[in-house]
């Protein structure tokens, strides 16, 4: 057997420790060849060390090049900036991968299977913001700058097409707002069409204006396969696609760079249920599967995904957010039993 892969484990805030512990238990039950380096970030790190993103945590990720992360608390409108954004910038995690697939029967849509690829380091999230003073009001006007580069657009769009080729996907849809934002979004669309031409005959492509895309996603989501878009639009649309299949508790996220990957639950910290043992760990479990895919353990990841999906479809032992009564541990036990059965 090869040497185990070391992975940085960041349990997170709120329900994070409970759902990451459940995921570690599941991956170990599946025989994943992983060792864990536990580190902290977010509110937990502020409380313990006075720093939301300690250097020890960054050093761990620099060494391992891999991390599994629970949700982290980010204050709204004040306090420290998003740790998620900081991690993406620090490790140039330019691609955010958000799959959404119908698993639980009886949902509004039965045949959703869409992968959203979001540009993760540019756009409006670069953090270039300022106030403009008018009269006596120093905060009379707020400005935010969106940055779209040709290089940044090309690498995320190429990532989407390469993902489609590798995973047998048929179509990539480039989502934009080039009809209004003619420079930034126009550059993204122009670059997308050039990249798409290189894949003609292998992967179909089209483009949609973001508002039209949002409407079509809630009317005919089965039409979509792979979507690639800019940072803000991807942030919004990825939550929309999660809603199509049952919510954020069922959808994972992967942040991929050239030599580093951070895999996470994309939902919040849910402080109202933290410590009650009822949180749904499915999203971070599926993020763990993405991590296994990334390190070449796709057969093991597929086995875990199959066990999760079978447990959810049966609906006998599922958490409250998806219509059941099971707690976190009981649900995890059911998935492990299915995996080992």
The pLDDT tens digits of the residues spanning 98-135 come to: 999 998 877 788 889 999 999 999 999 888 999 999 99
Averaged pLDDT, 244-273: 94
Could you give the CA distance from residue 5 to residue 255 in angstroms, rounded to a whole number? 18
Residue 76 has a pLDDT of 57
Could you give the CA distance from residue 220 to residue 216 in angstroms, rounded to a whole number? 5
DSSP at 266? -
Averaged pLDDT, 228-253: 95
Whether the per-residue pLDDT at 79 is higher than 60: the answer is no
Residue 235 has a pLDDT of 95
Rg value, the chain, Cα: 20
Could you give the CA distance from residue 5 to residue 34 in angstroms, rounded to a whole number? 5
Strands of 171-176's sheet in order across: 34-38, 5-10, 66-69, 261-265, 252-256, 95-101, 113-119, 226-229, 171-176, 204-209
* Nearest C-alpha neighbor of 218 from the set 246, 234, 235, 241: 241
Residue 108 has a pLDDT of 81
Report residue 84's pLDDT band, with 50, 70 and 90 as the boundaries. Answer: confident
Where does the chain have alpha helices with state H?
Answer: 16-29, 43-49, 55-64, 83-90, 150-166, 184-198, 210-219, 231-244, 282-294, 298-314, 328-340
Domains of the chain: 1-96+248-341 (3.40.718.10), 108-244 (3.40.718.10)
Q: What is the pLDDT of residues 300-323, one digit of tens each?
A: 999 999 999 999 999 899 999 988
Residue 107 has a pLDDT of 76
Report the sign of the C-alpha dihedral through residues 222, 223, 228, 234, in that order: negative
Q: What is the pLDDT of residues 49-75, one digit of tens each?
A: 999 999 999 999 999 999 999 999 876
Beta pairing class for 137-144 and 129-134: antiparallel
β partners of residue 144? 129
pTM of the model: 0.92
Strand, coil or helix: what is 79?
coil
């Amino acid at each position: 057997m090869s040497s185990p892969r070391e992975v940085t484990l960041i349990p997170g805030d709120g329900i994070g420790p409970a759902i990451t512990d459940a995921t570690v238990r599941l991956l170990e039950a599946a025989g994943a060849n992983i060792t864990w380096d536990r580190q902290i970030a977010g509110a937990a790190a502020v409380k313990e060390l006075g720093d939301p993103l300690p250097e020890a945590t960054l050093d761990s990720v620099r060494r391992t090049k891999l991390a599994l992360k629970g949700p982290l608390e980010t204050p709204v409108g004040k306090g420290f900036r998003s740790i998620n954004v900081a991690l993406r910038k620090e490790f140039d995690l330019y691609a955010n991968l958000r799959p959404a697939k119908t698993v639980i029967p009886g949902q509004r849509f039965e045949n959703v299977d869409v992968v959203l690829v979001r540009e993760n380091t540019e756009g409006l999230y670069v953090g270039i913001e300022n106030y403009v003073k008018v009269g006596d009001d120093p905060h009379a006007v707020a400005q935010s700058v969106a940055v779209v580069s040709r290089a940044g657009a090309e690498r995320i769009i190429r990532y989407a097409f390469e993902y489609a080729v590798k995973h047998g996907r048929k179509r990539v849809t480039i989502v934009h707002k080039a009809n209004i934002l003619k420079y930034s979004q126009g550059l993204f669309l122009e670059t997308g069409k050039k990249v798409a031409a290189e894949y003609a005959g292998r992967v179909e492509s089209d483009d949609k204006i973001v508002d039209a895309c949002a409407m079509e996603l809630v009317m005919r989501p089965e039409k979509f396969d792979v979507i690639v878009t800019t940072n803000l639009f991807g942030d919004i649309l990825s939550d929309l696609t999660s809603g199509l299949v049952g919510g954020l508790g069922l959808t994972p996220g992967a942040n991929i760079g050239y030599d580093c990957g951070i895999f996470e639950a994309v939902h919040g910290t849910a402080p109202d249920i933290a410590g009650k043992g009822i949180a749904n760990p499915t999203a971070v479990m599926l993020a763990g599967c993405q991590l296994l895919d990334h390190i070449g353990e796709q057969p093991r990841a597929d086995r875990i995904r199959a066990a999760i999906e079978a447990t959810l479809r049966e609906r006998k032992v599922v958490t409250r957010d998806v219509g059941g009564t099971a707690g976190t541990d009981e649900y995890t036990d059911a998935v492990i039993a299915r995996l080992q059965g």
